[in-house]
Structure 1
Amino acid sequence: MGVEIVVNDLSKSFGKQLIWGDVSLTIPAGEICVMLGPSGTGKSVFLKTLIGLLKPDKGSILIEGTDIASCSERDLYEIRKLFGVLFQDGAMFGSMNLYDNVAFPLREHTKKSESEVRAIVMEKMDLVGLLGAEDKLPGEISGGMRKRAGLARALVLDPEIVLFDEPDSGLDPVRTAFLNQLIIDLNAQIDATFLIVTHDVNTARTVPDNIGLLYHRHLAMFGPREQLLSSEEPVVRQFLNAQRVGPIGMSEEKDADELASEEGQELPPLPPIPLQQEPSNGIPRRSQRPPGEWCKEHGITPPPGSFETSNAGLAPGA
């Protein structure tokens, strides 16, 4: 089962440039979370900080009682064993075939025999649909296959936390849909804590249990999927529904003249909230909540047409 990540008052700067400040959120154990935000808002920096590759200026990141923002290198090394990471481009070693790429963490961090390594590698290759491709080099396969190979490598140490840095980057919509289904199925199977950084609004609307939005150097909102998809908060509404009207502009923030020109414009209605994507076997994940449960608990009337099968997986406005 996955583990909880508790982030308190986290801030990160590069020189005088504040990337984001005072970020606080709790990533629940075993759930799928998505972190969104316009380009340049520090989403990948947030992932690197969570795993200890970057040190925050202030704040804490508690994982199983250890604050990885201030712990020793030895303790950090141990905590990192809980993580698996899928990097944007797969981060494969170009001179190694897929088998050796996936086997690398096992050979580096364990004392398992080669027969044990082979059994684990083949299991993970099968899990991501790459059996039969283990002898291929990364340069000989498609971007989607490299993503899946990177995911197999992220899973070989049976992590309790899996981080995905823009897994849909460079993929066409069909491959993105297949990868999203794979993520759902993996979470159902291994029950680890998943955090996905993405720009893909359709992924955010259909895959996660929780959504976060980084904007203008702070965390605009973090909470259950239904909360954000029914939110009237201007930046959340604009981003999650891919609308032009709102505070986000081409250069992140619109200036006063742009915002003034939009005054009085009628916002389009919120699109229906789609059904959350389910595992292929149809059995709900442990963290999956019944459709509309959050809205009902909080007295929120969802947009008309929400949670209907015909809306599942549709892009905003479809």
Structure 2
Amino acid sequence: MGVEIRVEGLTKSFGRQTIWQDVSLTLPAGEISVLLGPSGTGKSVFLKSLVGLLKPDRGHIWVGDRDLPYLPEAQLYETRKLFGVLFQDGALFGSMNIYDNVAFPLREHTKKSESEVKRIVMEKLELVGLLGAEKKLPGEISGGMKKRAGLARALVLNPEILLVDEPDSGLDPVRTSYLNQTIVDLNAEIGATFLIVTHDINTARTVPDNIGLLFRRELVMFGPREMLLSSEEPVVRQFLNARKIGPIGMSEEKDVSELEAEAKQGHDPGKLPPIPPQLMTSDGRIRPGQHAPGAWCAAHGVTPPPGSFVDDLGRNWVEEWPRYVASMAPAGGPPPGAHPGGAPGHFPGNPPPGQQGAGAGY
């Protein structure tokens, strides 16, 4: 199971430039969280701070019971072993084949025999669908395969926390969908705590259990997926709907005169789009971090936009969910590991539309 991360009052500056200030959030153990924000709002800086590569000006990062910014060097080094990181471009060594790239952390940080290294590397390559490509160089494979090779390398030390920096960068929408499916399947398989930085709205709307948004040097909102997808907060609504109307401008934020001009012209921010069903695992299992569709809205008296939680086959998962849970439950109990309420999925023998395992060729 993954480790909970609690961030309290975190502030980071470079010289006189404040990147963000007083950021507080909790990444629940074993759940998938997404961090959004316009370009230049410090999302990658936040990831580097979480893993201890950058020290904040003030604040706390609790990884379990360890306050990471204040750890002695030796303890910081040990705590970093809890993390796996997938960089934007995969960050593979160009002179090494895929096998040696994935094996590198094991050879660098452990004393395992080569036979044990091989077993682990092949296991992780199989997990991300890259068996058969281990002898190829990074220059001989596609962008999607590079991402998955980087993901395999991030997994070889069995991390309890996985940081993923813009997995969609450089990928077309189809390959991004395949990679999203791989991430969801991995979360179900290894139970790690995931934090994904992305600009991809489809990823943000369908993959995570929680969403956060950075803007104007602060964390505007962080919470369950349904909370943000039903939010009337102007910047959240603008970003998640990819609209021009709102506080975000071409160069970071709009000034007061621009916002006043928009208001005078009576621009309508538009209706909130339906909240889609959450992406399910390839085999239909329930991830522990998932919640019943519509559960947050119901618990907080929020009416979701019309058409929410309806899949491509026209099934309303608020209505279908109880039958799904019953169909998946072993005799005498709920599905193993199911969070109370669970998540949308498919009935056995009826694959969810558009959800497939990771393809080997992208």
Identify the TM-score tier after normalising by the shorter chain. over 0.9
Q: Following the alignment from structure 1 to structure 2, what is the Cα–Cα distance between the partners of residues 287 and 224?
A: 10
Q: Which consecutive unaligned segments of at least 5 residues does structure 1 have?
A: none
How far does residue 267 in structure 1 lie from its aligned partner after superposition?
2.3
Question: Which string of whole-angstrom CA distances, capped at 9 and with x for unpartnered residues, describes residues 25-48 of structure 1?
Answer: 000000000000000000000000
Q: Following the alignment from structure 1 to structure 2, what is the Cα–Cα distance between the partners of residues 256 and 150?
A: 43
Is 2:309 aligned against 1:307?
Answer: yes
Aligned to 2:172: 172
Aligned to 2:233: 233
Name whichever of 66-75 and 37-46 sits farther off. 66-75
How far does residue 313 in structure 1 lie from its aligned partner after superposition?
9.4
Q: Following the alignment from structure 1 to structure 2, what is the Cα–Cα distance between the partners of residues 267 and 236?
A: 11
CA contact (8 A) 1:206 1:313 kept: no
Tell me the matched-pair count: 314
Residues 313 and 213 of structure 1, relative CA distance in 2, 3 Å threshold:
farther
Aligned to 2:61: 61
Name whichever of 250-259 and 41-50 sits farther off. 250-259
Alignment counterpart, residue 271 of structure 1, candidates 266, 270, 273: 273
How far does residue 57 in structure 1 lie from its aligned partner after superposition?
0.3
Partner-residue secondary structure (3-state), 1:280: coil
CA contact (8 A) 2:246 2:269 kept: no
Q: Following the alignment from structure 1 to structure 2, what is the Cα–Cα distance between the partners of residues 290 and 65?
A: 30
CA contact (8 A) 1:3 1:29 kept: yes
Q: Following the alignment from structure 1 to structure 2, what is the Cα–Cα distance between the partners of residues 39 and 190?
A: 31
Partner-residue secondary structure (3-state), 1:9: strand
TM-score (norm. length: structure 2): 0.85
CA contact (8 A) 1:277 1:313 kept: no
Question: Which string of whole-angstrom CA distances, capped at 9 and with x for unpartnered residues, describes residues 120-179 of structure 1?
Answer: 000000111110110011111111111000000000011000000001100000000000
1:148-163 matched pairs, under 5 angstroms = 148-163=148-163
Aligned to 1:111: 111
Aligned to 1:40: 40
Partner-residue secondary structure (3-state), 1:23: strand
Q: Following the alignment from structure 1 to structure 2, what is the Cα–Cα distance between the partners of residues 38 and 57?
A: 22
Question: Which string of whole-angstrom CA distances, capped at 9 and with x for unpartnered residues, describes residues 178-222 of structure 1?
Answer: 000000000000010000000001100000000000001000000
Question: Which string of whole-angstrom CA distances, capped at 9 and with x for unpartnered residues, describes residues 66-117 of structure 1?
Answer: 1111111111001001000000010101111000000000111111110000
RMSD (Å), alpha carbons: 1.2
Partner-residue secondary structure (3-state), 2:292: coil
Aligned to 1:17: 17
Q: Following the alignment from structure 2 to structure 1, what is the Cα–Cα distance between the partners of residues 250 and 81?
A: 39
What is the percentage of aligned positions where both structures have the same residue? 73
Aligned to 1:281: 283
Aligned to 1:292: 294
Aligned to 2:360: none
How far does residue 258 in structure 1 lie from its aligned partner after superposition?
1.5
Which one-letter code corresponds to 2:298 in the other structure?
A: K
Is 2:130 aligned against 1:133?
Answer: no
Partner-residue secondary structure (3-state), 1:308: coil
Aligned to 2:146: 146
